[in-house]
Chains A and B, each alone.
Chain A
């Protein structure tokens, strides 16, 4: 069965510092991978996705993620944190199981705090 692990439920960085949010997955087939962001009191918004091709994926708001098959990882990074990046971040993998359910398997989320 597929699964997603996000290392660190809470991450705190200083404004201007590197943001690194970790995501590892398990999948028996080539995965589709996603990062979502949730700002306070809002729904989830797609930040970026990996489907096929280039392993470094760029998303909105300066975020990017690199798919590393050998490490089964899809870590999210941003070179310089901004106060507005404070949010909950979720990693997800597309369920490739039998049937056509189009479900996503979710990590538990990482709360990012940005300190001035």
Chain B
């Protein structure tokens, strides 16, 4: 839904290396979100965006940064990956046409930090 894609879908990296995950949408909605999903913790919001160059922190933003230079793309960067950032990362969007704030999700990126 909303043509949400994430890349890469799987990545293995080493501690201390930078990693960038990409979320792309085809419908140009303003609101985009990055979550991480871990067993026992459900979904936790990392960062979100409400327009080009407009971003804000979520509940677990330490160690992560984001950028949004185009409406359709929302990038999540781990500046120096740590093993605690091994997780499944999901991007989501909230449609401008909806008043109810439901979110639609991408397929996820499974990141392993060794």
Contact = CB atoms under 8 A, between A and B. Distances in A.
Interface of A: 9, 32, 34, 41-46, 49, 51, 90, 94-95, 100-104, 106-109
A44 B100 contact: no
B27 interface: no
Contacts of B100: 32, 49, 51, 94
Nearest to A108: B42
The B contact surface, by secondary structure, is strand
Contacts of A44: 43, 90, 92, 105
A109 B104 CA distance: 17
Nearest to B58: A103
A43 B48 contact: no
Tier of interface size on chain B: 20 to 34
11 contacts: A9-B40, A42-B108, A43-B90, A46-B104, A90-B43, A101-B48, A101-B50, A104-B101, A107-B42, A108-B42, A109-B43
Contacts of A107: 42
A111 to B, nearest CB: 10
Contact of A106 (B43, B50, B108): B43
A51 B102 CA distance: 10
B24 to A, nearest CB: 14
Contact of B42 (A42, A101, A102, A109): A109
B45 interface: yes
B31 interface: yes
A45 B105 contact: yes
Interface in B1-36: 4, 31, 33
B25 to A, nearest CB: 13
